[in-house]
Chain A
Amino acid sequence: MKQLSIKKFDADPPKCDCEGNGRSNGDKVTPLQSLQPLSIPMAGAVDEDAPCCGPKPAPPSRPYEKSGYRIVHFVKDFVKTPVGDIPRIETGLKGLDIGGTIRARIGISRDRYKVAPGLYCVGSPDNESPVLVTANYKLSFDSLRKELAGLDAWILVLDTRGVNVWCAAGKRTFSTEEVIRQVKRVELEKMVSHRELILPQLGAPGVSSHKVKKGCGFKVIWGPIKARDIKAFLKNDKRTEVGMRQLTFTIRERIVLIPVELSLVVKPSLAILLAVFLLSGISPDIFSLSAAWFRGLNGAAAYLLGVFAGAVVVPVFLPWLPSRRFYIKGIQTGVTAGIILLLVLGQNITRLESVTLLLLAVSVSSYAAMNFTGATPYTSPSGVEKEMRQGIPVQLLAVVVAVITWVAAPFVS
């Protein structure tokens, strides 16, 4: 099917003035109307190429293209400045961005999804325009630029190793030193006449504003937590209202975290499921394949329901589950899931086996729920450690009892 479509580029002016938007149309692929590739009118093709078949040549290279570099799709063009050409970026997200967001959200390519650190701009900024600082995780960068339509601003992207602002601040890659390093590297003092940087508030754990001032002369102004409040913040004399400074954890914010949580347990789960099937096969005749399969399926169902109860149900129903402790929330959902499983299995299993399945679902759910603390924006490490000291012994005990009774069950009955 490849031959039936051809990249269609806008005819480019021979000389580029860096103002055109030819680049942004370059990615569109238009299906060919006719089935004969040779009959395509070769607009702009040079005469001596005439006998040569195949797609028409790409437009001439832009003056700012460099060997060894590729211009990323969100760059509109480049702006000439005293410190070199600065990429001007689009504020709208394209299919490529949205596809990338989805992949990152479900845990594929999450670790490598980054943009090059350095200076970018939107609109037509001058030396009075604000400088917005962000992380080089592509999702952080996208969520900022999509809020900047109509604004003239500089964007300074720090090298946070492709990690978002909040986590990078916790890991100290969104840091005082990195802010100072990038400000110096891009020679920001030559770009703007003011001496202010606007940082997202969630970067504050990693950045000491007074040390930044000492290190590079720029004053840090703490901007809103959410990029969507940027415009209101700029209008409000660069001051955040109380609401812009408070973290939220809405059901939507919780649900988007679930796929990544699940993708993290895929690998250990495979090993655990294998163990469940093997343990299920142990029988009075040493090993029974049919038992491994049929009992194993019940065990696997209990395990997977436990994961679901802890890593999906708990995040969704977080504020409505009684108890502040996550491991208890996980026990609550795990018991519910386990009971549902037992109702479905009915008379097909022994009483001992039902107890085991329930214990397995509960311990897995409790552990998965406890792990969700790492993704919430309100759990203190001291609190998490405290509940882990209570939760882990309970979970371990449940698992050990479950394994023993599961293996013992065929011998007892």
Chain B
Amino acid sequence: MKDFRYLENVTTLVLDEDKCIGCGLCEVVCPHTVFKVENPKASIIDRDACMECGACAANCPVEAISVTPGVGCASYIIQRWVKGKDAVIECC
């Protein structure tokens, strides 16, 4: 995905390196190579490539990663603006 870059400094991704046990899963599940795990902990190597899918946070066994996952879809976001955050939303 090197030919596609989206907006910078928007992702909600946060890594708590103190909690990390270096299991390596975040690197395996991330589809945009945001993490690198080596001696012995994970670090974020390409933060702006993150698309907030939530795969890393869901799979970190010690909850060292947090991200607000969501659907990057305009009609979804409009419905959320109109109906409020917790509404049931039909989407793509």
Please tell me the number of chain A residues within 8 Å of chain B, measured between CB atoms: 47
Q: Provided the pairs A249-B1, A379-B72, A388-B77 are in contact, do residues A374 and B31 lie with their beta carbons within 8 angstroms?
A: no
Restricting to B30-59, which residues have a CB under 8 Å from any CB of A?
Answer: 30-33, 49-55, 58-59
Name A371's contact: one of B5, B25, B51, B75 (CB within 8 Å): B75
Task: Return B66 CB to nearest CB of chain A, in Å.
Answer: 13
Q: Provided the pairs A324-B5, A382-B11, A386-B7 are in contact, do residues A202 and B31 lie with their beta carbons within 8 angstroms?
A: yes
Q: How far is the CA of A226 from the CA of B78 in the complex (A)?
A: 31
- Enumerate chain A residues within 8 angstroms of B91, measured Cβ to Cβ: 171, 374
- Enumerate chain B residues within 8 angstroms of A378, measured Cβ to Cβ: 1, 4-6, 32, 49, 51
Chain A, residues 176-218, CB within 8 Å of chain B (1/0): the string is 0000000000000000000000000110111111100000000
- Enumerate chain B residues within 8 angstroms of A98, measured Cβ to Cβ: none
Which has the most chain B C-beta neighbours within 10 Å: A201, A324, A325, A374?
A374
B contact patch SS: loop
Task: Return B21 CB to nearest CB of chain A, in Å.
Answer: 12
CB pair B4 A209 closer than 8 Å: no
A contact patch SS: helix
Residue B22 CB within 8 A of the other chain = no
Residue B92 CB within 8 A of the other chain = yes
CB pair B29 A374 closer than 8 Å: no
Restricting to B1-16, which residues have a CB under 8 Å from any CB of A?
Answer: 1, 3-7, 10-12
Task: Return A167 CB to nearest CB of chain B, in Å.
Answer: 7
CB pair A384 B74 closer than 8 Å: yes
Residue A247 CB within 8 A of the other chain = yes
Please tell me the number of chain B residues within 8 Å of chain A, measured between CB atoms: 39
Stretch in contact with the other chain, from A29-37, A62-70, A152-160, A238-246: A238-246
CB pair B33 A242 closer than 8 Å: yes
Chain A residue nearest in CB terms to B53: A205
Q: How far is the CA of A202 from the CA of B28 in the complex (A)?
A: 11
Name B7's contact: one of A222, A249, A387 (CB within 8 Å): A387
Residue B84 CB within 8 A of the other chain = no
CB pair B75 A249 closer than 8 Å: no
- Enumerate chain A residues within 8 angstroms of B75, measured Cβ to Cβ: 371, 374
- Enumerate chain A residues within 8 angstroms of B32, measured Cβ to Cβ: 246-247, 378
- Enumerate chain B residues within 8 angstroms of A208, measured Cβ to Cβ: 58-59
Task: Return A131 CB to nearest CB of chain B, in Å.
Answer: 18
Chain A, residues 217-245, CB within 8 Å of chain B (1/0): the string is 00000100100000000000000101001
Q: Provided the pairs A379-B6, A381-B52, A383-B10 are in contact, do residues A388 and B31 lie with their beta carbons within 8 angstroms?
A: no
Report, nearest first, the 10 A-B pairs whose CB atoms are least far apart: A374-B73, A381-B70, A204-B55, A204-B29, A383-B7, A380-B52, A382-B10, A379-B72, A247-B31, A381-B72
Which residues of chain A have a CB within 8 Å of any CB of chain B? 167, 169-171, 201-202, 204-210, 222, 225, 240, 242, 245-249, 264, 318-319, 324-325, 367, 370-371, 373-388, 392
Which residues of chain B have a CB within 8 Å of any CB of chain A? 1, 3-7, 10-12, 25, 28-33, 49-55, 58-59, 61, 68-78, 91-92
Q: List 17 A-B contacts (CB under 8 A).
A: A204-B29, A204-B55, A204-B59, A209-B25, A225-B31, A245-B31, A247-B31, A324-B5, A373-B72, A379-B72, A381-B52, A381-B72, A382-B52, A385-B77, A386-B7, A388-B74, A388-B78
